Amino acid sequence: MIKVGIVGASGYTGVELIRILSLHPEVDIVGITSNNHEGREYSDLYPSLKGYINLRFDELCEAEIIRKSDVIFSALPNGHAYGLANEVVAKNKKLIDLSADFRFNDFSVYEKWYGPVPLIDQKVKRIYGLPEIHRMEMKDVNVVANPGCYPTSVILGLAPGLRYGLIKTEGIIIDSKSGVSGAGHKPSFANLYAECNESVKAYGVACHRHTPEIEQELSYLSESNIKVTFTPHLVPMTRGILSTIYCELRDGITLYIVREAFEEFYSNESFVKILDDGQFPRTKDTYGSNNCHIGLAYDEHTGKLIIVSAIDNLVKGASGQAVQNMNNLFGLPEDTGLNLPAIYP
Angle at 221 between CA 155 and CA 242, to 5 degrees: 10
What Cα–Cα distance (Å) separates residue 71 from each residue in 5, 30, 80, 92, 307? 6, 10, 17, 10, 36
Distance (Å, rounded) from C-alpha 194 to C-alpha 191? 8
**CA dist., res. 288 & res. 232, Å (int):** 21
For residue 292, give the amino acid letter: C
Instruction: Give the closest residue to 328 by CA, choosing from 340, 317, 337.
Output: 337
Half-sphere exposure of 46 (CA within 13 A, CB side): 23
Query: Which has the closest alpha carbon to 96: 286, 306, 323?
Result: 323
| Beta-sheet strand order (sheet of 241-248) | 201-202, 228-234, 172-178, 241-248, 304-311, 292-299, 272-274
The answer to whether the CB of 99 falls within 8 A of the CB of 74 is yes
Task: Provide the residue type at 28 as one letter.
Answer: D
Q: Which of 149, 196, 247, 292 is catalytic?
A: 149
247 is an active site residue: no
Cα(171)–Cα(247) distance, integer angstroms: 7
Question: Are 21 and 4 spatial neighbours (Cβ–Cβ below 8 Å)?
Answer: yes
CA 211 to chain centroid, in Å, comes to 14
As beta bridge partners, residue 74 has 7, 97
The residues assigned a catalytic role are: 149
